[in-house]
Amino acid sequence: MSETSGASITTALSAYELLADPQLNKGTAFSEAERDAFDLHGLLPPSVLTLDEQVSRRLQALRGYETDLERYAFLRELQDTNETLFYALLVGNLEELLPIVYTPTVGAGCQHFSRLFRKPRGLFLSIPHQARIDRILAHPRFDAVEAIVVTDGERILGLGDQGAGGMGIPIGKLSLYTGCGGLHPATTLPILLDVGTDNPDCLADPLYIGWRNERVRGQEYDDFIEAFVSAVVKRWPRVLLQWEDFAKNNATRMLDRYRDRLCTFNDDVQGTAAVATGTLLSAINVTGVPLTEQRVAVLGAGSAGCGIAGLIRAAMRDAGLSESEAATRFFMVDRDGLLVEGMSGLAPFQMPFLQNKAAIANWKLDHPDRVALLDVVRNAKPTVLIGVSGQAGAFSEPVVRAMAEANQRPVIFPLSNPTSRAEATPVDIEAWTEGRALIGVGSPFPPITRDGVRFKVDQTNNSYIFPGVGLGALAVGAARVTDGMFMAAAKALASSSPARNNPKHNLLPPVSALRDVALTVALAVALQAHKEGQVKDIPLDQIEARIRAKMWTPRYAPYQRAKG
């Protein structure tokens, strides 16, 4: 096998094996000396290119495609052929490539997964092979694994059940772990738990590559998850496990079940909460309305919506509001309207966010039996409106105009992904609020025109949080990921807001700065972990150096041929 010493790698692999291994392949960048040593002459065209030249060539090819889905397929293929080149291209062009590798195009990638599938990446663990999980994880190829992103594909972005096609999400998230957070690609592992699908299109598609079966639920599902988590902890006791795009009941349930057993978090519940809270803290600097005076309406009272409300409420308590006072500030709206005490069919995680019946007794309603979002905005006059509902257009003109009437600077965050599911477009919000709104969207949107100049819309996406959380936790070997660490992440994000220096600037740093953001967030997370006693044997003054040392930069190492 291969050994790394200093900057160079000594290996006994053959020319064909080197070219076939995405972690070792350099393509046209193998040097003359390496071509001599490994008999690569003839297998490659004679010209030797630098990594920078390869990047320019690939960028040109990428820009030549007609559609983003074609670009997605091109980049996935590059990732499976030459990871160093893939990451050099990504890191150098985050703003242009993130919308392809990640949200929104990754959503289409999941929907077309069965057709785009070329080479396997990561692991597919399915119910019929539950008894083999230990054996599958045991392969030496996975010895270096430190970070896993796992999904069961049931709630892929706002696109619903995509079955095995959901694998696109762990792959995309881990691409950001390396591209933004600097984790070495060999330490990352995407996993799809194939428990079937209830998506009729997948089940009816003769080319569907997942397990063709209805979704397994109940005890059998829980047993499968338990077998998976136990096997993971046995194989990698210090691994970071990120749950992604599970349906609302499983998301919070699994998080509650496992958060004290290993270093784990749910990105949709906790990562989204931290980016929303961090962006809100930045917005407060601009509006001048203190956190203790905010009222927050959230459309979508699932695990993400309640996660956001929970973290903002904790920030309100930090800012001096009493527990009971903070609890009155949230208006959670779901399919049946505002969540109110005594409603039937509520999930346990929704219980802390119910409005008091007496508090809304005098509200004027359009329909007496249901409190719709517009009723909430007109009566409660929230300062902040957040959408995680997956319902395109749900922030209608009357809703947004009512926000603008009640607030000098309304804060409006339509966070649902991908772009097609956003609750409102930035252009509409800008028009309906006469340019007074502070806007954050989950997916990328084109710039708007503000005061006659182009203004980039802030992308309030958990990509501002999870790469830094993972990097920080792993760099110091934190035993657990805690709510305190997410609060620290949110505050660190707010502290790097460009609007702190000039209120006309953006609330968030640009996507091109996501590597710096990850470092800032990682440092805050690691320091918080230290404060909470999660870190053993690392002095405080060495934490930043540890984090920086963990950030891998894509570049080629020279190879030597092993003797013998």
* 356 annotated ligand-binding residue: no
Give Cα 302 to chain centroid, integer Å: 17
Among Mg ion, ligand OAA, none, the one that 419 touches (CB under a kind-dependent 5 to 8 A) is none
Q: Kindly identify the residues of this chain, within the stretch 219-248, that bind ligand OAA according to CB under 6 A.
A: 245
Annotation marks residue 16 as catalytic: no
At residue 190, what are phi and psi to the nearest 5 degrees?
Answer: -80, 140
Alpha helix locations (H) across 463-557? 466-475, 483-495, 514-531, 543-550
Contacting residues for 468 by C-beta, under 8 A, at least 6 apart: 181, 489, 492, 517, 518, 519, 520, 521, 522, 524, 525
Side-chain-side CA neighbours of residue 90 (13 Å): 33
Residue nearest to ligand OAA (CB): 103
Side-chain-side CA neighbours of residue 160 (13 Å): 7
Q: Residue 514, interface with ligand OAA (CB under 6 A)? A: no
Give 299-339 as a 3 state SS string: ECCCHHHHHHHHHHHHHHHHCCCCHHHHHCCEEEEECCEEC
Among ligand OAA, Mg ion, none, the one that 461 touches (CB under a kind-dependent 5 to 8 A) is ligand OAA
Annotation marks residue 491 as catalytic: no
Spatial distance between the Cα atoms of 498 and 495, rounded to a whole number of angstroms:
9
Please pick, from the candidates 157, 225, 312, 494, the single residue that binds ligand OAA as defined by CB under 6 A. Answer: 157
Spatial distance between the Cα atoms of 557 and 336, rounded to a whole number of angstroms:
58
Angle between helices 94-101 and 514-531 (to 10 degrees): 70
Side-chain-side CA neighbours of residue 165 (13 Å): 29
Q: Residue 419, interface with ligand OAA (CB under 6 A)? A: no
Q: Kindly identify the residues of this chain, within the stretch 299-328, that bind ligand OAA according to CB under 6 A.
A: none
* 555 annotated ligand-binding residue: no
Contact between 321 and 288 under an 8 Å Cβ cutoff? The reply is: no
Q: Residue 152, interface with ligand OAA (CB under 6 A)? A: no
Q: Which of 72, 102, 208, 559 is catalytic?
A: 102
Which of 370, 411, 372 has its CA nearest to residue 389? 372
Smallest gap from Cβ 298 to Mg ion, in A, equals 17
* 268 annotated ligand-binding residue: yes
Q: Residue 268, interface with Mg ion (CB under 5 A)? A: yes
Residue number, 404 or 490, with CB nearest to ligand OAA:
490
SS3 265: strand
Q: Residue 520, interface with ligand OAA (CB under 6 A)? A: no
Residue number, 82 or 105, with CB nearest to ligand OAA:
105
Please work out the total of residues on this chain that contact ligand OAA, with binding judged by CB under 6 A.
9
Residue number, 154 or 268, with CB nearest to ligand OAA:
268
Among ligand OAA, Mg ion, none, the one that 417 touches (CB under a kind-dependent 5 to 8 A) is ligand OAA
Residue number, 126 or 461, with CB nearest to ligand OAA:
461
Residue number, 152 or 267, with CB nearest to ligand OAA:
267
* 462 annotated ligand-binding residue: no
Which of 484, 509, 463 has its CA nearest to residue 272? 463
Contacting residues for 231 by C-beta, under 8 A, at least 6 apart: 133, 134, 137
Cα dihedral: 285, 306, 98, 51 (round 10): 90
Q: Residue 178, interface with ligand OAA (CB under 6 A)? A: no
Please pick, from the candidates 34, 245, 334, 458, the single residue that binds Mg ion as defined by CB under 5 A. Answer: 245
Q: Which of 26, 173, 456, 550 is catalytic?
A: 173
Smallest gap from Cβ 422 to ligand OAA, in A, equals 11
What residues pair up with 560 in beta bridges, in sequence order?
10
Residue number, 268 or 430, with CB nearest to Mg ion:
268
Structure tokens at 420: 């097609």
CB under 5 A: which stretch of 122-130, 262-270, 393-401, 449-457 binds Mg ion? 262-270
Q: Residue 103, interface with ligand OAA (CB under 6 A)? A: yes
What residues pair up with 193 in beta bridges, in sequence order?
125
Please pick, from the candidates 152, 267, 334, 423, the single residue that binds ligand OAA as defined by CB under 6 A. Answer: 267
Q: Residue 152, interface with Mg ion (CB under 5 A)? A: no
Q: Residue 462, interface with ligand OAA (CB under 6 A)? A: yes
Among Mg ion, ligand OAA, none, the one that 161 touches (CB under a kind-dependent 5 to 8 A) is none
Spatial distance between the Cα atoms of 521 and 92, rounded to a whole number of angstroms:
20
CA distances from 507 to 199, 298, 432, 502, 525 (A): 38, 20, 20, 10, 21
Concatenated DSSP letters for 227-253? HHHHHHHHH-TT-EEEE-S--HHHHHH
Q: Residue 425, interface with ligand OAA (CB under 6 A)? A: no
Q: Residue 79, interface with ligand OAA (CB under 6 A)? A: no
Q: Kindly identify the residues of this chain, within the stretch 22-41, that bind Mg ion according to CB under 5 A.
A: none
Smallest gap from Cβ 267 to Mg ion, in A, equals 5
Residue listed under structure tokens 């109940």: 218
Side-chain-side CA neighbours of residue 94 (13 Å): 19
Please work out the total of residues on this chain that contact Mg ion, with binding judged by CB under 5 A.
3
What residues pair up with 151 in beta bridges, in sequence order?
192
Q: Residue 161, interface with Mg ion (CB under 5 A)? A: no
Residue number, 181 or 337, with CB nearest to ligand OAA:
181
CB under 5 A: which stretch of 181-189, 250-258, 268-276, 439-447 binds Mg ion? 268-276
Instruction: Enumerate the known binding-site residues.
Output: 155, 244-245, 268, 417, 461
Footprint on this chain of Mg ion (rule: CB under 5 A): 244-245, 268
Footprint on this chain of ligand OAA (rule: CB under 6 A): 103, 157, 245, 267-268, 417, 442, 461-462
| Residues taking part in catalysis | 102, 173
Instruction: Enumerate the known binding-site residues for (S)-malate.
Output: 155, 417, 461
